[in-house]
Structure 1
Amino acid sequence: VSNHNRCAQMVAFQLSDAALGLRAVAAAHGLDFVPMEAVRCDLVIPCDFLDLPAVKILLDVLQTRALRNELASLPGYESACTGEVIGQV
């Protein structure tokens, strides 16, 4: 199938025994979840864009406690490093 939601639907409707997907999607369908791998996602922004107003706003929001709390409330999301600058090139 083409997305996580469809995978969960297949399991929920007993058309499949298991599927790969996100914990949040499984929870939304009332399904059990077995984690297989933790995945870290980084946002890469070219240095030329760092002074753009929209990018500054985005970076400010990513560094707020409120956003981290929202992310932490979602099943399967770890927000401890959200908004952290890990390098500049």
Structure 2
Amino acid sequence: MPVKRRKDKSRAFKITEAAIDAYRARDFRALHQALGLRPWEMSPLPDTPLGCNPANPPAETERTNLFAQSFQQALELQRELEAACR
């Protein structure tokens, strides 16, 4: 019996030169495009209104929306981008 193969739905973000350049320039739109982030996902840029601030994570009660749920992903991307910038 034939089996339909499905694509893996997990997303692996690639840290490219374009992403590193956008992160250094603090260009929100270029970084989102280079990483392939969706519009509702939090940006790994710190100190921006839509960015990831490790010192101020969203409260558990705020994690009901998709933006707040993407905090861990943004934090991991921020760490990878910081390491790549060194």
Q: TM-score range by the shorter chain?
A: under 0.3
TM-score between the two structures when normalised by the length of structure 1: 0.25
Higher helix share: 2
* CA radius of gyration, larger in: 1
TM-score between the two structures when normalised by the length of structure 2: 0.25
